[in-house]
Amino acid sequence: MEAIKDQRKWHWLDYFLFLMRTIWFAYNGNSIFISTIGSEKWILLLWASCSYILPHLFYRPGLIKFLYYIMTEVLLTGSLFIYLSSQHEIAVTYSFLLVPILTVAYACQVKPLIWLGPFLVVGTWASSLFINKDFFALFIDTIIFYGIGFCLGRTTIVITANKELIASIEEKNKHLEYYSKRIEELTIREERNRVSQDLHDTVGHIFTSVITSLDALPFLYQADKKEAEKSIKEISDLARNGLNDVRKTIHHMSPMNHQTLVESVQELIADFMKHTATDIKLNVEGEVIKVSERVKFVIIRCIQEGLTNAKRHGQSTFIKVNISFKQEELIILIEDNGNGCDELNFGFGLRSMKDRISALAGTVTFYSKLNNGMRITCSIPIAKEV
């Protein structure tokens, strides 16, 4: 029984019905008080007072227990009606039930009360058939008052549900604003990490090599001038390549262009082949689909790191890049014919590649064997990025 209760808050219509019920009971109570005499007058007055007060113990501001209210209303008001009907004309006493009928209809909005309300009302009307012949007019009054109460009840439920929905939406909007700020902060932090990774991959290695070579240059110049001149040219080429790498890094810091993933990869490969004289073959499998800018950026960076590693550390002359569009994932395969190694050393570049893929809930595997090149396989779930 405790489980059957209306969960809505007190509505202004509840106050209106409370006031209407008060006026109605006062009017009919006065009529009963005037038309009765003796001790019956005071018994009926006490009875009517209980039928008015006790139901509101379960239906008042701050507490709504419709089942208990209906039971109390039926027992007290119904028994008072039966007694009055047996002693007085039904035309007078039946009007005593009209507002309680309206209130019961207003309250009976949830199962099983929605079936209990009509049953009680029809039963009350049917009892009048044995007392008064004008049952058709009473039936019309019953239907009208029950219909008004039921419609008011449905209106209250809809209004309350709309208010709760609006409040829920406002609350969710606050959470979304908070999460939006958090995402913005995390995005800025991630962008800073990306920039540091890119600068490490481009500037750090080049500057370290240039500084080391310059430190050794005076000793080399004293020992062998021709070898020193050759070293100077190598340092110049290294610095020039470093400048190109910095330019590429700055280019990738700018907003992403409107190229597709395949077009961006083709441009990257063409630029790499032009400056390194490396043979690279690109193969695309499956139906090409549009991926988010974040996914595209990560893939471009991973391919760039794979090409750089293959040329710089593996001395590769041929690299194969394969992009496979599958139903639920995107697979990138980078293979080279470089030197390879039996034990991989995970430097900053490979760790950065792994971190970027992991951030997209993907996986990356590295396989290398001495004198047999290296193979990098990246798998990114597409569905999770939608």
pLDDT (tens place) for every residue of the chain, 386 residues total:
333 344 455 667 777 777 877 887 777 777 776 776 777 777 877 887 887 788 877 777 667 777 777 778 777 877 777 777 666 654 456 666 777 777 777 777 766 666 666 666 666 666 655 555 466 666 777 778 888 888 887 888 788 788 888 888 888 888 877 776 777 677 667 767 766 666 666 665 566 667 767 777 787 777 777 777 777 877 777 777 777 766 666 665 544 456 788 998 998 888 778 777 789 999 999 888 888 888 888 898 889 888 888 888 888 889 999 999 998 899 999 999 988 888 888 777 788 888 889 888 899 999 988 888 999 999 999 864 43
**What region, left, alpha or beta, does residue 383 occupy, with left being phi > 0 and alpha being psi -120 to 50 degrees?**
alpha
- To 5 degrees, how large is the angle CA 25–CA 20–CA 77? 40
- To 5 degrees, how large is the angle CA 223–CA 229–CA 234? 120
pLDDT reported for residue 285: 92
Q: Which residues pair with 168 in a beta bridge?
A: none
Strand-strand pairing, 374-381 and 363-368: antiparallel
pLDDT reported for residue 347: 76
pLDDT reported for residue 375: 93
pLDDT reported for residue 333: 95
Tokens of 2: 């405790």
pLDDT reported for residue 127: 61
Are residues 108 and 117 in contact, defined by beta-carbon separation less than 8 angstroms? Answer: yes
pLDDT reported for residue 283: 94
How many CA atoms are closer than 13 Å to the CA of 357, on its beta-carbon side? 27
Cα torsion 34, 39, 42, 45 to 10°: value is: -60
Q: Which of 18, 16, 93 is nearest to 58 (CA)?
A: 18
Cα torsion 247, 250, 256, 261 to 10°: value is: 50
pLDDT reported for residue 1: 36
- Look at the pTM and tell me if it is higher than 0.85: no
Are residues 348 and 310 in contact, defined by beta-carbon separation less than 8 angstroms? Answer: no
Quick one: three-class SS letters along the chain? Answer: CCCCCCCCCCCHHHHHHHHHHHHHHHHHHHHHHHHCCHHHHHHHHHHHHHHHHHHHHCEECCEECHHHHHHHHHHHHHHHHHHHHHHCCHHHHHHHHHHHHHHHHHHCCCCCHHHHHHHHHHHHHHHHHHCCCCHHHHHHHHHHHHHHHHHHHHHHHHHHHHHHHHHHHHHHHHHHHHHHHHHHHHHHHHHHHHHHHHHHHHHHHHHHHHHHHHHHHHHHHHHCHHHHHHHHHHHHHHHHHHHHHHHHHHHHHCCCCCCCHHHHHHHHHHHHHHHHCCEEEEEEECCCCCCCHHHHHHHHHHHHHHHHHHHHCCCCCEEEEEEEECCCEEEEEEEECCCCCCCCCCCHHHHHHHHHHHHCCCEEEEEECCCCCEEEEEEEECHHHC
Q: Which of 380, 377, 357 is nearest to 366 (CA)?
A: 377
Are residues 299 and 380 in contact, defined by beta-carbon separation less than 8 angstroms? Answer: yes
